[in-house]
Amino acid sequence: MLFTSDFLYDLFPDATKQRDFEIAQVNTDSRKEAPDSLFVPIRGERFDAHAFIEQAITQGAVASLWDKSVPVPEAAAAIVLFLVDDTLEALQQLAKAHRVAVAPIVVGITGSNGKTTTKDLVTSVLKEKYEVLATKGNLNNHIGLPLTVLSMQPSCEVLVLEMGMSNFGEIELLSHIAQPDYAIITNIGESHIEFLGSREGIAKAKSEITAGLAADGILIIDGDEALLSDHHGKETTITCGFEAQNKERLHVEQTLDAATVFSVNGEKYTFSLLGAHNVRNAGYAIVLGKQLGVSRDHIQHALHAPSMTGMRMEMLAGLNGSKIINDAYNASPTSMNAAIRTVQELPFARRILVLGDIYEIGSESKRYHREIANAISTDTSYVFTVGEDAVEITDALKDEPITAIHFHDKDSLTEALVPLLQEDTIVLLKASRGLKMESILDTIAVMEEN
């Protein structure tokens, strides 16, 4: 049980009837079986879920929020309707009240890149000591975050919330709903720059996470990022990074085939992810874990085999003994450069970069793509690109001793890639979500099974 009918009547006193009941889950999808649920019909520009109340009741709804301006159909008379001015705002209000009632330690995580990886690492570390609920999938916006909060059982001790955005004001709203005790800004990149105008604008938008931060709350930031310098020097800010001025200084000690050895203020850890950018993400998890009393041994245990969301620097077996890093969930110039640097540090004789378009970087997209070539060293064997602007990468490499080829579709790229897969070869797949670069793996996986 999440809460009783009394909890709802206190929040939303304008109801169609009085009835005692318990709510086991909150649901916005009338197609989903949801026994003892509160249905929340969301209205959009092209849809209105109020029309599906009968289906929601069939699927188990015992009550529903209801927009006062929408006529009540006869079918809805079977359950309690809580009449509100706006069902989305009411959903957010309910989430905020539930967060206060359960009173967990709340961790909010935002940043241009690494949000999900950091969320996964933080969750793995804190699960060593606490009962933890964390954001699942991409439920990190103005609807998804409240639904995550409202999936929290009363026994939850720590709530880890990823916060995404594409414009100003969005993180501020999420922060006020979540009221974090700890906030992490992973980095400042270029994602959504077409909406926010500049990296300075992105830094301002990400810093909105402090809007709902507890008065004595702790902010953990990328201390190497100059655009976050406004937060430096504060007693409640912990800077984490590779440069000497950070309170928590990171250092990569050794890069192995499938692991990284690194230190935080001289204390060594080993974990199963690759790349300096992931060392930074792990650093945030270690700092937070220590803040919350997780021992060094338990932190190391969590980092040895953390539970990670797929397609983030995911090492896979390839055809003929090759290795493939699937980092195809999404991309920005910052994350693509980081992934390329990671591959170039690995001890493989042949390195192949398979790169696709980076979306949502505005009018300067061609320049950003062209600058990716600056990160590619001459010991890279092949660079294959696909998409519209990714051709700028291969064009920029035409005078380098690298085989760089642009393809018009993934099928032709895959056909050229397969014969190159052999032992001592590492392949990186990296592109924005819309390109679905991971579909290349389907062909490789079939061939591998044969």
Output the known binding site for ATP: 111-117
* Residues belonging to the chain: 450
H-state helical runs in 223-275: none
Strands (E), 247-367: 248-255, 260-264, 267-271, 314-317, 323-326, 350-356
Known binding residues are 111-117
Q: Give 3-state DSSP helix, strand, coil % of the chain, rounded to 5.
A: 40, 25, 40
Burial annotation 317-345 (CB, 10 A radius, 16+ → b, else e): ebbeebbbbbbbbbbbbbbbbbbbebbbe
Contact 250, 267 (CB under 8 A): no
Tell me phi and psi for residue 153, to 5 degrees: -75, 155
Instruction: Quote the CA–CA distance of 284 and 309 in Å, as a whole number.
Output: 17
- For 319, the token pair is 């055809």
Instruction: Quote the CA–CA distance of 22 and 37 in Å, as a whole number.
Output: 8
- For 209, the token pair is 């996470």
Tell me the CB-side half-sphere exposure of residue 360, using CA atoms within 13 A. Answer: 20
Contact 126, 294 (CB under 8 A): yes
- For 70, the token pair is 């929408």
The one-letter amino acid at 142? H
Instruction: Say what the alpha-carbon torsion angle 32, 98, 178, 45 is, to the nearest 10 degrees.
Output: 40
Instruction: Quote the CA–CA distance of 364 and 378 in Å, as a whole number.
Output: 26
The helix (run of H) or strand (run of E) holding residue 237 is strand 237-241
Instruction: Quote the CA–CA distance of 184 and 284 in Å, as a whole number.
Output: 7
Under DSSP, the state recorded for 71 is P
